Amino acid sequence: MPEKEVVNYEEGRPVFVMNETRTFPIRLSKIRIDDRFFNRYTKLVTKEIIPYQWKVLNDLEPEAEKSRCIANYRIAAGEEEGEFYGFVFQDSDLAKWLEAVAYSLSYEDNPELKKTADEAIALVERAQQKDGYLNTYFTVKEPGKQFTNLREGHELYCAGHMMEAAVAYYEVTGEDKLLKIMEKMADLIVKTFHEDKYKTAAPGHQEIEIGLVKMYRVTKKKEYLDMAKAFIDRRGTEPNYLVHEHEDPGWTDVFHNPDPFFPDYSQCDEPVRQQKTARGHAVREVYMLCAMADLAFYYRDEELFDACETLYDDIVNRQMYLTGGIGSSGLYERFTVDYDLPNDRNYSETCASIGLALFCRRMAEITGDTKYIETMETALYNTVLSGIGLDGKSFFYVNPMEVEPSHCLPHSSLQHVKSVRQKWFGCACCPPNIARTLASLGEYVCFTKENEVYLNLFLGCSFSVEFEGKKVDFTVETDMPYRGRTRIHVNNPENANGTLFLRIPSYAKKAELTDGENVVTLNPQKGYQKIEIKEKEHDLSLQFKMPAEYIYADPNVSANVGRVAVKKGPLVYCMEEADNGTGLSRFFVDTRISIVEDYDEDLFGGTMVITLAGEKLMPYEEEGSLYRTEMPRRKNAEARLIPYCLWGNRRTGEMLVWIRTNF
């Protein structure tokens, strides 16, 4: 097993490197979340989100865009007549839905839902070809053309998602039907992509690598891990398969895009180990990084790990929005260049922030460093949650930093930005991706390792782990994310010895930890405070100050020069028209005046709101010239802010994160 192989790092290497062993997320069956802040989302998963999405996949939701996802499978299975409908990656919507279902079954018994999922899995099996091939687009629409367009074909992408679903379903239910289906597909992929023709081939949209790593984890078939590594290693090397693929006479044009393929879009313009900046399609980049992190660990591949760190640094320090959004170009949903972070036309796809959270989680598992948890938390609490409405049935794909609804005009530069969450999308990657993320929230909260448990996120929850083979129960109560008060009760009836690693976030001020009556001297390592568990009962209490603060962007971010944002703990705040009227851009905050925080019991089921003081530029009293030599008048004004993740849940209106200041 390569998992525990020890590597000595040379001097001069980064301080935070891979641990010799890694943690893994807690099994979802071992954790229950019951949190005042998150319940509004997690309770929706089985009540609204999963049933709603099932209806959509079956075209039973009249207000949503047509999906035809299930119909495509039926047609592929020969059980229904018709044409393939939708995007070439339509299959993956079912995969993500099944993954979400699996996670939800781990903490909520639901025989009816399981029956539906089992039927869907049986349908997937019937849609699979004899040789193991599984993809309804190529089966129905382009038979014989499988694997002829790796750039656009998304077969490997869809397979990767279905593998993730298969592993989740197996781990939760113990049933291996979907796993076996995907083993057949994985075997076909391994066989095919070692053929001469495909010896240098890599997928256009990374995701299969994640799936194969997970399949390896469950099946222990090393060839899956090797295949994933080969896909990563082939990427951007000569002969560059993705660049030359279309020269093959058998090539199929899927997208009919008149704009020629540009390799950096798919991160294949140079070998991944040489890539110093995040580039191209943001989801592809972070899905690739997830696999790279895992593979770096399994193969003890320092160079690959270095690439992960380099790209992480570039994203977080030069290409990420305050909310954890990534992909600043609306066109091609992509990274652009360092410090290019426009506020109104960015893409910041919900899926990209999900991918960023998944990557950060892996990096934290490998390194035991909470800096990755902090980025993961930012992405989850802001951009990912912003992606879903409080009804569980409406979604943002694009997550701007500011919106003026009238500017989001169809057939214009801002046509990709929506000021209202949509019911569903023709390209529906985000909604089921949010579903699987919320359904697996526990995996982000806790990691475990032999006789160790890592508490990452401050959520009301209870979980149990084993120390020295003995069950230890933890109960967490918290006032987060609004106040820094957390109590952890440990029930350790057999006096097992183990260690709790408790994250002390960087935003925690004056943190105080007590274990019973004893004040614990804080000395966090990589952001985790080590607490030895050995008594029958521990009553831990962590308190810190977490005042809302003004945040400045690096002055190289031209879009934010002369502006500030407000962040309280993990939550970014924003102004909305519903609270402030129109003209949010005309408000100038006086940063010399203290930020006022108030808990509003009634708003969105209870949320902390923030009030700022400053001045507001007044519209001209007389209509007329657009440009004048007189300075517009100002008057004293206040601004009310709500958490960014909650915007767009009232009437349509303006929204603004980065607020002007001239003080």
Please report, for residues 213, 222, 613, the alpha-carbon distance to residue 646 in angstroms, rounded to integers and kept in the order given.
Answer: 35, 44, 22
Instruction: Give the start-end residues of each E strand in 284-441.
Output: 402-403
Looking at beta carbons only, is 322 or 363 nearer to a second copy? Answer: 322
619 touching a second copy, by CB under 8 A: yes
CB of 430 to a second copy, least distance (A): 20
344 contacts a second copy (rule: CB under 8 A): yes
Q: Examine residue 260 and say whether the peptide bond preceding it is cis (omega within 30 degrees of 0).
A: no
Q: How far is the CB of 185 from a second copy (least distance, A)?
A: 32
Asked whether position 345 contacts a second copy by CB under 8 A, the answer is: yes
Contact 73, 97 (CB under 8 A): no
256 sits near a second copy (criterion: CB under 8 A): yes
C-beta separation of 45 from 438 below 8 A:
yes
The answer to whether the bond into 481 is cis (omega within 30° of 0) is yes
Which phi and psi angles does 520 have, rounded to 5°? -90, 130
Residues 116-145 that bind a second copy (CB under 8 A): none
Distances (CA, A) of 270 to 52, 172, 236, 238: 42, 39, 4, 9
Check binding of 577 to a second copy (CB under 8 A). no
Query: Does 258 help bind a second copy (rule: CB under 8 A)?
Result: yes
**Measured from the CB of residue 270, what is the shortest distance to a second copy in angstroms?**
16
Which part of the chain contacts a second copy (CB under 8 A), choosing from 177-185, 450-458, 512-520, 586-594?
586-594
x/- map, 520-549, a second copy, by CB under 8 A: -----------------------------x
Nearest distance in Å: CB 261, a second copy: 10
Q: Does 142 qualify as catalytic in the annotation?
A: no
Please choose, from the candidates 462, 455, 429, 423, the residue with its C-alpha nearest in 3D space to the C-alpha of residue 93: 429
82 or 632: whose CB is closer to a second copy?
A: 632
For residue 657 the two structure tokens come to 């994160």
The one among 583, 597, 604, 611 contacting a second copy by CB under 8 A? 583
Site string for a second copy, 392-411 (x = CB under 8 A): ------------x-xx-xxx
Judged by CB under 8 A, does residue 553 bind a second copy? yes
Does residue 622 bind a second copy (CB under 8 A)? Answer: no
From 87-95, 258-266, 353-361, 511-519, span contacting a second copy (CB under 8 A): 258-266
Minimal distance, residue 555 CB to a second copy, in Å:
4
HEC profile for 408-450? CCCCCCCCCCCCCCECCCCCCCHHHHHHHHHHCHHHHHEEEEC
Q: Is 336 in the site for a second copy (CB under 8 A)?
A: yes
What span, in angstroms and rounded, lies between the C-alpha atoms of 571 and 548? 9
CB 235 to a second copy: min, Å: 19
The answer to whether the CB of 369 falls within 8 A of the CB of 527 is yes
Shorter beta-carbon distance to a second copy: residue 291 or 566: 566
CA distances from 83 to 67, 149, 150, 502 (A): 13, 20, 22, 54
**What's 74-133 look like in SS3?**
HHHCCCCCCCCCCCCCCHHHHHHHHHHHHHHHHHCCCHHHHHHHHHHHHHHHHHCCCCCC
Does 604 bind a second copy (CB under 8 A)? Our answer is no
Examine residue 412 and tell whether it contacts a second copy (CB under 8 A): yes
Minimal distance, residue 374 CB to a second copy, in Å:
10
Q: Which of 268, 429, 461, 574 is flagged as catalytic?
A: 429
Stretch that binds a second copy, among 1-9, 139-147, 227-235, 324-332 (CB under 8 A): 324-332
Rounded CA gap, 356 and 444, in Å?
12
Do residues 463 and 498 touch, judged by C-beta distance below 8 A? no
Please report whether residue 262 would count as binding a second copy according to CB under 8 A.
yes
Residues in contact with a second copy, counted by CB under 8 A, come to a total of 68
Asked if residues 304 and 232 have their Cβ atoms less than 8 Å apart, the reply is yes
587-589/659-661 β-pairing: parallel
Residue 581 in the binding site for a second copy (CB under 8 A): no
Maximal CA-CA distance, the chain? 80
State the Cα torsion 140-144-150-151 to the nearest 10°: -60
Q: How many CB atoms are located within 10 Å of the residue 436 CB?
A: 26
Does 621 contact a second copy by CB under 8 A? no
Q: Which of 333, 443, 577, 615 is catalytic?
A: 333
Is residue 599 close enough to count as binding a second copy by CB under 8 A? no
Taking CB under 8 A as the criterion, which residues in 304-323 touch a second copy? Answer: 316-318, 320, 322
- For the bound state, the minimum distance from the C-beta of residue 660 to a second copy, rounded and expressed in Å, comes to 5
The yes or no reply on residue 623 touching a second copy (CB under 8 A) is yes
379 exposure class (CB count in 10 Å sphere: 0-12, 13-18, 19+): buried
Q: Does 333 qualify as catalytic in the annotation?
A: yes
Residues with a known catalytic role:
333, 429
By CB under 8 A, name the binding residues for a second copy: 256, 258-259, 262, 265, 316-318, 320, 322, 329-332, 334, 336-337, 340, 342, 344-345, 404, 406-407, 409-415, 549-558, 561-562, 565, 567, 583, 585-586, 588, 591, 617-620, 623-632, 660-663
